[in-house]
Amino acid sequence: MNDDASLLHAFATKRDEAAFRQLVGQRIGFVYAVALRRLNDPHLAQEATQSVFIALARKAARVAQNPSVMGWLHRCCCYETHNLMRAQINRAAREQEAHQRGTTTAPSPSGHRWEEIETVLDDALSELAEPDRSAILARYFSNQSFAEIGTASGRTENAARMRVERALSKLREQLQRRGFDSTAAVLAGLLPSSASALVPSGLSTTIADAALSTVGTTSLLAVFVATMSTTKITATLAAVAGLGIIGYQIHQTNVLAGELGSLRAEHARATETVRALENQIRELKTAPASTTAVGTATAATATTAVAAKAEPVEVPGITRQAPPGWFKNGNNTKGYDVGVDQTQPWGGMPSAYVKSNDLSTAEGFGGMMQVTAADVYRGQRVRLSGWMKTQDVQDEGAHLWLRVDGKGRGNILAFDNMRNRAPKGTTDWQEYSIVLDVPRDAEAINYGMFLAGRGQIWVNALTVTAVGAETPITNPQSLPKPPNAPVNLGFNPDSTPKT
């Protein structure tokens, strides 16, 4: 992933539209998540997101000098959503007055859910000083290491760590003033789940086009005005009005396209879930015998790869359910517990865990996964990396995995699950990586972690990033080339097929 400021500088100085589109692709999930939290309306959130990137395109030169482009995007999104919220509040007040007679709502006596905290999260972030807000966004919303934060701010890694910890403490105080109490460790573990949101299909392209078109129109008008005399300006007002009508039509088209994209996104999410379940069954059917010995009954249980059901917390600091954005999967989901473990942190953040229970078997596996659109990564080489710790892991071992899917049922374009290099036994924190190419016809990227057999694993600091061609892929033999012509049509048992 390229630096935000570098991409924006390239656009501001060279009018590099490709750089601007890449920046939109990298940060649209963050901006859309902020807008969606504050507005709670996908259509209004799309409108606010488009306004933010239009403003970014127009102010590119100035924003590129900002210490944190991400911080500017957050402030701008809060401003745009505030304008939209005022209109919504006025309308809601009128509707509430008409329906409120005899109706009251009592506050919940129990603790607050994270969805409730998210409604005031951005207001609390806005109250922080710029250096503190930038530190929070860099660490928990952009997944930067302390070393990267230190380099960007001219500090040592340890100084950056202290800055982030102080900023997190101040954010916690801001949330307490708003009636939401939480420990710093819990807050650090929950913030990354708010870093991004699933962007409706096609929204990134639509918004980039809209922003670039407004900059182009503005620049053209500026050239006209600079070269016209007063009388010529008067004579061309009709032409300018025509351009305004065209601009309005472009805006209306983009709004309608955004609404259509939202409907398509709902359908796409359901399709991706079905595709993930079908691919799990396909993998089990084509896996080695050691992982499929349970036969047909095991393959059938692959359809249980659904969102983990909430279970009561039995141990302080351990949540026994998949965190937001993740869902439980495997061929024996009942044989494994998944969740978040605050007692096994890494880098100051809680860890995800997978643990076998009494229902697990040597041949079974279970874990957590995500599915995301491949739009941002098409035509690039992608690396999934993360830190993993194991305890008493037996059988097939502990795994990270990454799979690239194309269009159509069961169309797997690339796959690696560390089958030949999975750690076993008891190991301390170590970093593991998977690198695969994402073809231009890719539709979805699936990734996660699983435990094959018995034991327990912890995973932390997962990242999915684009890397250069100099980084070798980790599973070059995952998709063998098919033969160029039919072979052994006579079924000769001694024949060696030639490709």
CB 167 within 8 A of CB 135: yes
pLDDT class of 238 with cuts at 50, 70, 90: low
- Which pLDDT belongs to residue 99? 53
| Domains observed in the chain | 287-467 (2.60.120.260)
pLDDT at residue 312 is higher than 50: no
Question: Which segment of 200-209, 350-359, 379-388 scores lowest on mean pLDDT?
Answer: 200-209
Average pLDDT over residues 222-238: 45
- Which pLDDT belongs to residue 113? 57
CB 447 within 8 A of CB 370: yes
Tell me: the pLDDT tens digits for 100-112?
544 443 333 334 5
Helical (H) or strand (E) element with 274: helix 237-286
Average pLDDT over residues 284-304: 46
**CB neighbours of residue 32 within 10 Å:** 26
- Which pLDDT belongs to residue 387? 93
pLDDT at residue 224 is higher than 90: no
- Which pLDDT belongs to residue 243? 53
According to the per-residue pLDDT averaged within each range, which of 310-314, 384-388, 419-423 is highest? Answer: 384-388
- Which pLDDT belongs to residue 278? 67
Average pLDDT over residues 180-204: 79
pTM of the entire structure?
0.40
CA atoms in the 13 A half-sphere facing the CB of 488: 10
Token duo for residue 195? 């870093």
Q: What are phi and psi of 395, to 5 degrees?
A: 65, -125
- Which pLDDT belongs to residue 436? 94
Average pLDDT over residues 77-99: 70
- Which pLDDT belongs to residue 110? 34
Average pLDDT over residues 224-244: 48
- Which pLDDT belongs to residue 195? 78
Q: How far apart are CA 332 and CA 364, in angstroms?
A: 6
- Which pLDDT belongs to residue 248? 55
Average pLDDT over residues 222-237: 45
